[in-house]
Amino acid sequence: MPARTAGAGRVRAIGQGKRDLVAHRIGVIGGDGIGPEVIAEALKVMRSAGADLDVVEYDLGGARYLRDGTVLPDEIVDEWRGMDALLLGAVGAPGVPPGLIERGLLLKMRFDLDLYVNQRPFVHPEGSHDFVVIRENTEGTYAGEGGFLRKGTPHEIATQGSVNTRFGVERCIRYAFELAQARSSKHLTLVHKTNVLTFAGDLWQRTFDEVAAEYRDVETAYNHVDAACIYFVDSPERYDVIVTDNLFGDILTDLGGAVSGGHGISSSGNLNPDRTGPSMFEPVHGSAPDIAGQNKANPIAAILSAAMMLDFLGETEVAERMRKACAQPGTLIGSTTQIGDAVAARL
Ligand code: IPM
Ligand code: MN
């Protein structure tokens, strides 16, 4: 089974074993388009920061699918279960049917590894706002409930359901409360559309209120998702932690990136907070095939995602130094490799 990138194999012990601690075993999926380019810089920066990593590279994504039909074999997922974390660049290539790689690879990772929290921080480079979106990552419309009836006929029906379980909603909301409680502002906003999605919205609001009773020191708020779109643009400083469902979180976090310095710096973590398996870290941006291979992509989002990964693995000091080295991104201009070099040089 061709799991490993030919030739690349394992890159042992980044940091040259400066410490006696066991290295973190990281699965790395560069993926498609600009993915491999930005991931190379993230690895370079982690190496410079002295992180002790044992990297296994995987050749997966749209390009691999077009080459030999492989998307994500279960054997690879099983191999990942024994790892400490996964770092992904971006997946998606022209010529691959819509949804095939998204469902077959990215969502399969989220579902199979139970990465039920998607954490996306938005810290404006000029310091005007600093908030985190906690997006439920395994349910909602992403669960894939639905189907066709009379497909291709004038009476065709397509349904797409939203799956919301008490268990799934509650564990995500609890994570958000824990996070809000640990932050200085201690503020959590539920974002939904309770005025129209009266079933799912009711479950989310009730669960939110019940869990809130256990976190009295956390101030809470509720915004409809459409209103939240306005606030993201005109008063994002009102937010500290936001918790929301999968699809709202997907859309809101693209807007979050757009008002927080752009997608070149938006990082994310697909987390299994129970740590029963590896969590997966990736920039929010996609594979950008139009600029692939041109050394043009901003690697900061990938570097910050790698920092989030190290944070999650308990390497808080290394992660903080990496984040500091990425701060004031306006001062980091140039090609993908120049920015990576400049960040690495600051470490
Ligand atoms: C994201 C992406 C994915 C999503 C796609 C590629 C399936 O947009 O991570 O935000 O919708 O979750
Ligand atoms: Mn998205």
Q: Does residue 133's CB lie within 6 angstroms of at least one atom of ligand 1?
A: no
Please give the average per-residue pLDDT across 194-209, as a whole number.
98
Work out the average pLDDT over 256-276: 97
CATH of region 126-260: 3.40.718.10
- Per-residue pLDDT band at 329 (split at 50, 70, 90): low
Which residue in this structure is represented by tokens 């699918």? 65
pLDDT above 80 for 14: no
- Whole-number average pLDDT of the chain: 93
Q: Which atom from ligand 1 is nearest to the alpha carbon of 253? A: 10
Centroid of ligand 1 to alpha carbon of 113 (angstroms): 16
Q: What does the pLDDT read at residue 330?
A: 66
pLDDT of residue 331: 72
Q: Is the dihedral of CA 249, 250, 252, 253 positive or negative?
A: positive
Residue 115 vs residues 79, 223, 256, 271: alpha-carbon distances, Å: 16, 25, 21, 5
All residues with CB under 5 Å from ion ligand 2 = 250
Residue 60's identity, in one-letter code, is: L
Question: Cα angle vertex 80, ends 75, 86, to 5°?
Answer: 140
Terminal CA-CA length for the chain? 38
pLDDT at 22: 73
Q: Decide if pLDDT at 15 tops 90.
A: no
Q: What is the percent of the chain with per-residue pLDDT over 70, rounded to a whole number?
A: 93
Please give the average per-residue pLDDT across 227-252, as a whole number. 98
Break the chain into its structural domains and give their ranges: 1-121+264-347, 126-260
Closest to 169 (Cα-Cα) out of 196, 194, 202, 146: 202
Closest residue to atom 9 of ligand 1, CA basis: 284
93 vs 31: CA distance, rounded Å: 9
- pLDDT of the residue at 100: 97
CA dihedral angle for residue 290, residue 295, residue 301, residue 302, rounded to 10 degrees: 110
- Ligand with an atom nearest the CA of residue 247: 1
pLDDT band at residue 248, thresholds of 50, 70 and 90? Answer: very high
CA of 228 to the centre of ligand 1 (A): 20
Residue 61: is its pLDDT beyond 80? yes
Non-local (6+) Cβ contacts of 274 within 8 A are: 114
CATH number assigned to the domain covering 1-121+264-347: 3.40.718.10
Q: Is residue 2 over pLDDT 50?
A: no
Fold matches, 1-121+264-347 and 126-260: yes
Distance CA 290, CA 337 (A): 18
- State in Å: Cα 330 to ligand 1 middle: 27
Average of per-residue pLDDT across 112-116: 98
- 23 pLDDT band, cuts 50/70/90, is very high
Residue 20 has pLDDT above 70, yes or no: no
> Which ligand has the nearest atom to the CA of 141?
1
Q: Which of 137-146, 212-221, 307-316, 331-340 has the lowest mean pLDDT?
A: 331-340
Convert the pLDDT of each residue in 83-113 to its tens digit. 999 999 999 999 999 999 999 999 999 999 9
For residue 167, pLDDT over 90 is answered with yes
Q: Is the CB of 102 under 6 A from ligand 1?
A: yes
Ligand 1 contacts CB of residue 106 (under 6 A): yes
pLDDT of 271 strictly over 80? yes
To test the pocket of ligand 1, the residue of 110, 250, 305 to mutate (highest count of ligand atoms within 8 Å of its CB) is 250
The pLDDT score that the predictor gives to residue 237 is: 98
Residues 179, 183, 185, CA angle at the centre, nearest 5°?
120
| Reported confidence tier of residue 332, pLDDT bands at 50, 70, 90 | confident
